[in-house]
Structure 1
Amino acid sequence: MSVEHGDNDDPSILYHYTDAYGVVGIVDSSWRDYAILKPENEIGRHKTIKLQASDIRFMNDTEELKFGTRLLRNHLEALAVDPSISPEFRAAFADIAPYFFPEGTLDWPVSCYATSFCVKGDLLSQWRGYAGGTGGFALGLDRDGLENRSYSIGRDRWPGDREAPAKVTLKRVVYGEDAGIAAIDEHIEDLMKTNWTSIITDRRPQHSQQARLLLFTMLVRAVAIIKDDAFKEEKEWRLFTMGEFRWPVDVRARARGLLPYKNIAVNVSWKATAPEHEAHHKEHPTIVDLVVGPGPEQAEQVVAARELLKGTDHEPKVVRSSKVTYR
């Protein structure tokens, strides 16, 4: 039985497609950085899971990043001469636009780390593209937990100097130029209402570098959710966080080389005691669906997936088989 809730625009469950190695790593509650999220005297397993958010500059298709970067730069240049914009912001947009050079993403002063989701938990294109073809898994996660109780976990720069946990952002990806420009405009309107406007528009020489870095950090978030129309059928959502290069990040190996990433703790409970943690996760389960993808050993993998969830303190009854035939 399918448990997908909501529609494509307002889903209550979002699906992360992965392979067997990925699903084991995601639900493992013993990962090293989790200790900072709970009191030192806390004992026992908890139902927070971890995701790896990849540096968007190293995504599989670099053209999608160039598309959003080019769109943002062109729009900033237009806003820089728009008389309806205040002179302070026109100057700020004119100053920052050249830094969004589509061929210069590797030179960004900050980066954005993202992990992807789909609104559907049993799509052939996703099994093929993101879960290894056969033997994959679609992890159905509670959107509320992703949106409101998830944090990026930084690494120590040196003992005792750790980047503080930061709230992550969940956004629906938009496709094409028109939707991309609308998303940029919405982002800029929100930016212009923040308490940072006096810093962003400060053109004094001694403050210009700080103003430029802050504005760049705010604007690059828009690039993270813009893709070409060709990818529209994916109906993707992204969970993302920012990172300054003064803080180290983890790096993992993949077939094409190395990939920088940050860990994200999903559905964190900030309660003080074990019973309160248990009550929180009973009311707000992290994993609400787990679809075992098509493959020759699907029945066995359903049983194995239930054992995985049971052993990590999640509800094993949420595991189900894909209905897709993949040959």
Structure 2
Amino acid sequence: MNPVPITLSPAGPAGPVRSARRARRRRYLLCPPEHFAVTYAINPWMDPDRPVDRAAALRQWRELAAVLRGLGHRVDLLGPEPGLPDMVFTANGATVVAGRVLVARFRHPQRAGESAAHRRWFAAARFGRVSTAAEVNEGEGDLLVAGRRILAASGFRTTPAAHREAEQVLGLPVVSLELTDPRYYHLDTALAVLDDSRVMYHPEAFAPPTRRLLRRLYPDAILADPADAAAFGLNAISDGRHVVLPAAARGLAEQVRAAGFVPVPVALPELLKAGGGPKCCVLELRSDERGGRVDGGAPRVA
């Protein structure tokens, strides 16, 4: 996959952004929140007594999908299934590296059925190398591809044993990180990969040894303050140039801009009621860049 310049230049508080960074076109899997609800609580953000506006959630999700298409990316659709209200968070369903797929095994029984839905999609889309995790692993929620390594978290959902399994199945070395703040129960709520060598993260979400490790690996990382982290600002999607992040994380957007990236704000307040943001809604389908073909049998989002 070759770098492709994308002409969209979103405006922020300081006007249109000019950036020398180059985007790579991506292929993403999304699932419309047609059955979205908060009927149980498996993270601190979820409150079943708090009303959810499903129509608003669907509207906000469609805007996110339109932004991704507008940036030149391919968006494929996973069909929603009744009884699985969190299916909109496709990032948790699998991790895909060079055409190899590791389907998640969820910690909580309320989400267990999502694994089978993802397996069916990858079979229909003719992905040839699909494995289902033996260890508890919640996909790109806790396994973030960063260049030629995978940053993998444990502490709340994914187990340390799953890190070794991911390394074996996906063929990249895994760096283990420990989350300690239950509000940031997945790695993608506390850290975002901006490009192959740069990340942004919230130090207070991690154990002290992990903070030291991240400082050593990424000395020029962008650090999110508590307010932007609580706005789910780190639950972001980057194509190497554009960074799609929650509109409420204004300070983080300015840091992203100052680092030469193009912030693209979106608003998903209904999905935040379930502890989800832009990245939670997007699973990246990384093709085999060594020449292997990955066909797409599923329809694109209309």
TM-score by length of 2: 0.23
Query: Larger C-alpha radius of gyration, 1 or 2?
Result: 1
> In proportion to residue count, which structure has more helix?
1
Between 1 and 2, higher relative CO (CA 8 Å, sep ≥ 6) is seen in: 1
TM-score by length of 1: 0.22
